[in-house]
Homo-oligomer: A and B are copies of this chain.
Amino acid sequence: MVPLTCKGFTACGMAAGIKKNGNRDLGLLVSDRTARVAAVFTKNLVQAAPVQLDRERIKSGAARAVIVNAGNANCANGRQGRVAARAMSAAVARALSVPEDHVLVASTGVIGAPFPIEKVESAVPDLVEKLDPGGIPDLARAIMTTDTRPKTGARQGAVDGVAYRIVAVAKGAGMIRPDMATMLCFICTDADIPVSDLQTALKRSVDLSFNRITIDGDSSTNDTVITMANGASGAVIEADADKVTFQRLLDDLCMDLARQMVKDGEGVTKVVDLTVRGARSDPDARAIADTIAHSPLVKTAFFGEDANWGRIIAAAGRAGVFLDPERLDLYFDEVLMVKNGTGCGQDAEEKATGVLRKPEFSVVLDLNLGEGTATMLTCDFSLDYVKINADYRS
């Protein structure tokens, strides 16, 4: 296990009274020197005030800190919300003596509730006091909403014998329709890497990981992934081979966190690796995978441990792209359940039911038309999901 520390970075989390239950709700991640910064934000047209602020600030390519709160999304709060987001960053900038526009902001929680900026402002001196090189797990706890477990990960690489780390914290648990639960991820690395390379690498990793669970254009008002690279390790990512390694580590780390999110999804009892292959194109495969992955009938069947493959092919059929129903093959793990569009009988069904009893399994739909492939990570739709989301604000 790579330790959850990264040279030149400190972090912390504390309770500032934003959450009604008194849990930790305010976190801070700081680089001891100006870091290169890259970010990916939600594509939702309704964007929270912190997202609007960060989008502007990220353009400089430089940052020193990210302050983040849970319990209030600071979204749909109009001018008051924008003022509050700036005030959050100003408080941190004053306490750390850094330029205000080097402080990024993130929020997650209820939309449209007035933002308790006075609580944040009065907590910031304490927050800065708590900063610690070992504080990353505390930061992970401070950003949880309906998450039941903090989500962290770390990877290690080396350039010419000089080691570097990439360390990440994330939150996000509304996995049934992942796009609507805020997903936050903060990644720090002590490698030195140009901003443009960092942005390219982050975009690719996000596409491979969080975008396999959250769909482009289908995101919440607050989704944010921020990466800071401060170069404190002395490892410089320049040569092509080193870029490849960095990318691989970042991909792997992001996929790890994405899987943690699905596993901890609201009410999730099944994690399903879904593959659509043999489509006429990758986008075709993606459209079908997306429709299956979001189908409430498919997801409730997973919850019921019911190998109801008819729902899967019915979802595929309405995805809006071409398929030939009589060429469809469907597997649950290695069990061939459907061949050429018709069921493989009682024996296959019994074996498939065995697969569905497992907490994690794969579903592969082969269209047998071409080379297009898409993979997604999805989950079941349980009674607890409804309970959690019916009661969320009470």
CB atoms of B306 and A390 under 8 A apart: yes
CB atoms of B325 and A218 under 8 A apart: no
A40 at the interface (CB under 8 A from B): no
CB atoms of A177 and B392 under 8 A apart: no
* Nearest B residue (CB) for A343: B112
Q: A338 — which chain B residues lie within 8 A by C-beta?
A: 76, 112
A244 at the interface (CB under 8 A from B): no
Chain-B contact segment, one of A61-69, A135-143, A250-258, A308-316: A308-316
A323 at the interface (CB under 8 A from B): yes
Q: Which one of A110, A111, A323 has the highest number of Cβ atoms from chain B below 10 Å of its Cβ?
A: A111
A163 at the interface (CB under 8 A from B): no
- A82 CB → nearest B CB, Å: 11
A231 at the interface (CB under 8 A from B): no
Give the size of the chain A interface in residues (CB under 8 angstroms).
66
The contact of A386 among B111, B220, B295, B386, by CB within 8 Å, is B386
CB atoms of B317 and A44 under 8 A apart: yes
* A 109-123 to B, binary, CB cutoff 8 A, 1 in contact else 0: 011110000000000
- A93 CB → nearest B CB, Å: 27
The 9 closest A-B pairs by CB, nearest first: A111-B310, A304-B390, A46-B317, A300-B389, A78-B342, A44-B317, A112-B310, A45-B317, A46-B325
